Amino acid sequence: MIRFKVNGTVRETDAPPMARLLDVLRVPLGLTGTKEGCGEGECGACSVMLDGVPVNSCLVAVGQCEGREVVTVEGLAHGAELTPLQRAFIEDGGAQCGICTPGMLVAAEALLRRNTSPTDDDVRDAIAGNLCRCTGYQRIVDSIQAAAAAVRAKTSKASKASKAGGETGA
């Protein structure tokens, strides 16, 4: 039995340790948001975060996940509240057919967690392992930048608020 955390909840599987993480997520765990586009680590449609690092779940054996934490597209939103990235992909044209979107969001989430002020080149580097055939990538880059701006605005508002609160307290 392999135990690992998926989207914050401990899950168990009796799948063979060499089973692809992708298959375990999609079939027994029913998390079909993670997609298979090529099965050989080229397209990135199956990207998930493993301990915060984006990986191709078609190339990860589920046995490698023992005791670790996996986040899929289903685990990005906080309940009903979408993340800035999810909102931006809806509003700014980042999603068209949607099949690459779960993987793109995972790769972009990993970027924004370490850098909320990426350059366009940083963004293109972060999603270089995720193929999209619909958008030409421009709207995806724009969506990620819009989300980064939203994250920065929220952070600066929060820090201003806490600063203001601090002054009042003083």
Partner 1 sequence: MTSRVDRTVGKNVSRVDGHAKVTGQAVYVDDLTTPGALFGGTVRSAVARGTLRGIRKDPSFDWTGITVVTAADIPGDNVVALIEDDQPLLAKDAIRHVYEPVALVACDDPVRLQQAIAAITLDVEPLPPVLSIEDAEAKKQIIYGKDNVQKRYVIEHELGGKTIDELILACDVVVTGRYAVHHQEQMYIEPQGMVAHWQEAGEGAEAGVGDGVHVTGSLQCPFYVHKAMKRAFALEGDRVHIGQAVTGGGFGGKEEYPSILAAHAALLSKVAGKPVRMIYGRKEDIEATTKRHPARIEITTGCTKAGELVALKVECAMDGGAYVTLTPVVLSRGILHAAGAYKWKHARIHGWAVATNTPPNGAFRGFGAPQTIWAIERHMDRIAEKLGKDPLTLRQQNLLAIGAVTVTGQTLTQSVGVVECIEKAVKSSDYFAKRAAYAKPSPAAGSRTRTRRGIGAAVFMHGAGFTGSGERRLKGKVQVDLEPGGRLRVRSASTDIGQGTETIFRQIAADAAELPFDTIEIETPNTSNVPDSGPTVASRTVMVVGSIVGKGAKMIADRVRASGTGDFATLADALLAREKKVSTLVEYEPPVAVQWNDDTYRGDAYPCYAWACDIAEVEVDLDTFETKVIGFWAAQDIGKAIHPIMCAGQVEGGTLQAIGWALYENLVMKDGHILNARMTNYVIPTSKDAPPFTTFLVEHPFSGGPSGAKGVGELPMDGGAPAIAAAVEQAIGALCNDLPLLPEDLFRAKSKSQVARS
Indicate whether 28 belongs to the interface with partner 1 (CB under 8 A). no
Is residue 22 exposed (0-12), middle (13-18) or buried (19+ Cβ within 10 Å)?
A: buried
Binding mask 65-104 for partner 1 (x = CB under 8 A): -------xxx-xx----x--xx--xxxxx-xxxxxxxx--
**Neighbouring residues of 134: CB distance < 8 A, sequence distance ≥ 6:** 96, 97, 100
Among 131, 149, 150, 151, binds partner 1 (CB under 8 A): 131
E strand or H helix at 146: helix 138-169
Residue from the set 6, 109, 139, 147 that interacts with partner 1 by CB under 8 A: 139
- Decide if residue 105 touches partner 1 (CB under 8 A): yes
Residues 6+ apart with CB under 8 A from 165: none
Residues in contact with partner 1 by the rule CB under 8 A: 26, 31-40, 42-43, 45, 72-74, 76-77, 82, 85-86, 89-93, 95-102, 105, 120, 123-125, 127-141
